[in-house]
Every structure is written in C-alpha cells, then in structure tokens.
Chain A
Amino acid sequence: MFRSVVMRAARTALRAEEAAASDPAFATKLKFNFSIPSTPIYAAAPVRMVIVPGASGVFGVLKDHVPTTAAMKPGVVQIQENEGETELKQYFVSGGFAFVKPDSSLDIQAVEAVKLEDLDVEAVKKGVANYSALVSSTTDEKEKAQAEIGLEVYQAMAAALNAA
C-alpha cells in the first residue's frame, strides 16, 4: 500500500520532469528570472546564455550549468536570448545574488538594475572624478569607506560604458 503510493508519487514527479524537459521553448535554453524589488525584468523567460558579474569573477551560465549561488558586484548582466545573437541585452546591476538551480533555471535578484544605455556617461565621468578626490582627501575611516564604495560603483559603470 505504502509502496504503491511512493511509486505513484515517483511516477508523477517523473512525468512532471519529462513535461518540463520536453517543453520545446526550454529544450536548449535556461529558464531566466531577473528582478529588482519593484519590478520583474524577466519572468520564466527562455534565454540561451546569461553572463553574471560575480563578486569573485564574471561567469557565463548556459543550460545544465552546475547549481551554484553567487553574490554579484556592481557590473553588467548580459543576456543572449537566442543562439548566434551578437547584440546582447545589457543591464547594469548595483549588486545582489544569482542562483543557478538544478532544473536549469537561473534567478537573479538585484538591488537595482538599469539598462546600460540609460546611464549618463557625463554623470559617470563626474562621479569617478568626485569620488577619487574624496577618497584621497578624507581621513575619517567610515567616510573614506563610503567614498570607496562610491568610487567602486562609478568605476564599474565607467568600465561598462568604456568611459575612463
């Protein structure tokens, strides 16, 4: 009796897995969720590859990537929706977490994410200059640390925009 229940549950789980695997939209793709606290940006979307700015290094995620959790540093999340696309979708994220799950889904939770082209190159250049000056002029430990955070973020944005 108990055994047949277990068997049935196992068969049901297997069928659900097969159904997910045979969904043609996800045959060679990741299931991609990308959101910030106020809005979802991608919700269960089929995408081919995502490049994540991990705190300990940038990495790309394709289907069947090994499951992992990574913190993100300020940087660019790049999304290739279809194979062969050379123009990747680019979002600048301020930080957050990326989760690669065993079912080939990728969840990215960012604190803030904006389209890279929505960043103002002039404001970024000015920010880099301001915070570099602040870092070298401040002596207070806490203020210096805050200035360094500003510099880190602005430098990452400058690098993303190729504006030094």
Chain B
Amino acid sequence: MSWRAAGITFLKYSQLCAEHVREALKEPMKAKKIASEGLHVRIMKYEGGKRVKTEIIEDAATAAATAAANK
C-alpha cells in the first residue's frame, strides 16, 4: 500500500492494475480488449441548425487501436 503514501488514489491504482493485466494478454485477445476498453468523445458544433464542425477526442489506447484497425 505504499502507493497510498505517494499520493496515488485507489481509483488510479485500480486503473493501473487493469492496464497491466490487459498489457499481458495474448493476441488477438489483447487488441480486442484494448479496443473495447477505449474511450472517445465526439464534439459537434452547430451553427444556425447546421453542423459546422466535428471533433473526435480519443485517449491514447483508442487512438492506437484505431490506427491499427485502419492499417
């Protein structure tokens, strides 16, 4: 529990543990898992009832998975 003293929260600890487990998977389970665990946000800007701009924000894992899928 020395991570607690270093200012790491339980949520961060849990998240790190989960990432390590995913990293140690065999392919193709790993790619599938990482893609399903990813996160992205789509921001759409509307002006006068029309969409003028779409922006997709991805985290690093999702970006990597998307890049791999498009290859």
Interface residues in chain A, defined as those with a beta carbon under 8 Å from any beta carbon in chain B: 38, 74, 92-96, 111-112, 114, 118-120, 123-124, 127, 141-142, 144-146, 148-150, 152-154, 157
19 A-B residue pairings within 8 Å (CB atoms): A92-B21, A94-B17, A94-B18, A114-B25, A118-B25, A120-B25, A120-B26, A127-B23, A141-B5, A145-B2, A145-B8, A146-B3, A146-B8, A149-B3, A149-B13, A149-B17, A150-B20, A153-B17, A157-B21
Instruction: Find out whether the CB atom of B24 lies under 8 angstroms from the CB atom of A124.
Output: yes
Interface of B is mostly: helix
**CB interface residues, B 18-58, toward A, < 8 Å:** 18, 20-26, 29-30, 33, 36-37
A62→B42 CA distance, assembly (Å): 46
A161 (CB) vs chain B CBs: closest residue: B24
Given A74-B17, A114-B33, A153-B17: A142 touches B6 (CB 8 Å cut-off): yes
A92 (CB) vs chain B CBs: closest residue: B21
Instruction: Find out whether the CB atom of B23 lies under 8 angstroms from the CB atom of A114.
Output: no
The verdict on B70 contacting chain A, using a C-beta distance below 8 Å, is no
Q: How many A-B residue pairs have CB under 8 A?
A: 85
A120→B26 CA distance, assembly (Å): 5
Given A118-B25, A118-B26, A123-B24: A95 touches B17 (CB 8 Å cut-off): yes
Instruction: Find out whether the CB atom of B15 lies under 8 angstroms from the CB atom of A144.
Output: no
Instruction: Find out whether the CB atom of B14 lies under 8 angstroms from the CB atom of A145.
Output: no
Q: Which residues of B contact A74 (CB under 8 A)?
A: 17, 20-21
Q: Which residues of A contact B13 (CB under 8 A)?
A: 95, 149
Instruction: Find out whether the CB atom of A153 lies under 8 angstroms from the CB atom of B21.
Output: yes
Instruction: Find out whether the CB atom of B3 lies under 8 angstroms from the CB atom of A94.
Output: no
How close is A92's CB to chain B, nearest CB, in angstroms? 6
Q: Which residues of A contact B60 (CB under 8 A)?
A: none
Q: Which residues of A contact B5 (CB under 8 A)?
A: 141, 145
A157→B7 CA distance, assembly (Å): 25
Instruction: Find out whether the CB atom of A149 lies under 8 angstroms from the CB atom of B16.
Output: yes
